[in-house]
Each structure stands twice: as structure tokens, then as C-alpha cells.
Amino acid sequence: MTLKKAYLIILCAFAWLILGGLAVSAINPPNPSTPEDVLIGGLLISFGIILLVGTAVWAGAKGHHPLVGVVLGWLGPIGLLILVFLTDKSCGSRDGN
């Protein structure tokens, strides 16, 4: 696994959340007890899953166990910041290839 792949997965998670939220809002403005609320809930759950996969890949690319990435992914922005400064234990090149 490479760092570039991890960055791409995390970027896709945020793009999914933003574009999906815009699409659901464009279809119908938020109103309690509508099917759109179910779509928004599914959108948030899928965002969380994609983000956790991305942080797991990121931690794995740095030579750590992917579970470390999942735990840090649950911490949100603070976890992403910790992942940035996490030591690189991988034996591959430092450019992410």
C-alpha cells in the first residue's frame, strides 16, 4: 500500500460527503421524517467507513498496523494530524511509491 493511495481514499471520502450532501439537498431541502434523511444517514455512514479504510491504508503504508489507522480515524481531525506526524517504519521509499 502506498501513501498516495491512502491520500486518494481519504480525499474521495470527503468528496463523497460533500458532493453527496449537495446532491441530496438539491433534490429536496431537509425536512424531518423524509426519505432524504435516510439518504443523508447512509451518506454519513459510508463517509465514515471510507475514511476509516483510508486511515488504515495510510497507517499500513507508514509501516504500522492498519488498526492504528482505524483508531486514529475515529479521532477525526486530531487523528489525521497524528497520522501526518507518525513515524515511517516502512522499508520502502519515502516518496510513497
For residue range 1-40, list pLDDT tens digits in order. Answer: 688 888 888 888 888 888 888 887 777 665 666 676 777 7
Could you tell me which of 63, 54, 60 has the C-alpha nearest to residue 87? Answer: 63
Q: Are residues 13 and 54 in contact, defined by beta-carbon separation less than 8 angstroms? A: yes
Could you tell me which of 38, 90, 84 has the C-alpha nearest to residue 64? Answer: 90
What's the pLDDT score for residue 94?
54
Could you tell me which of 79, 82, 81 has the C-alpha nearest to residue 71? Answer: 79
What's the pLDDT score for residue 29?
63
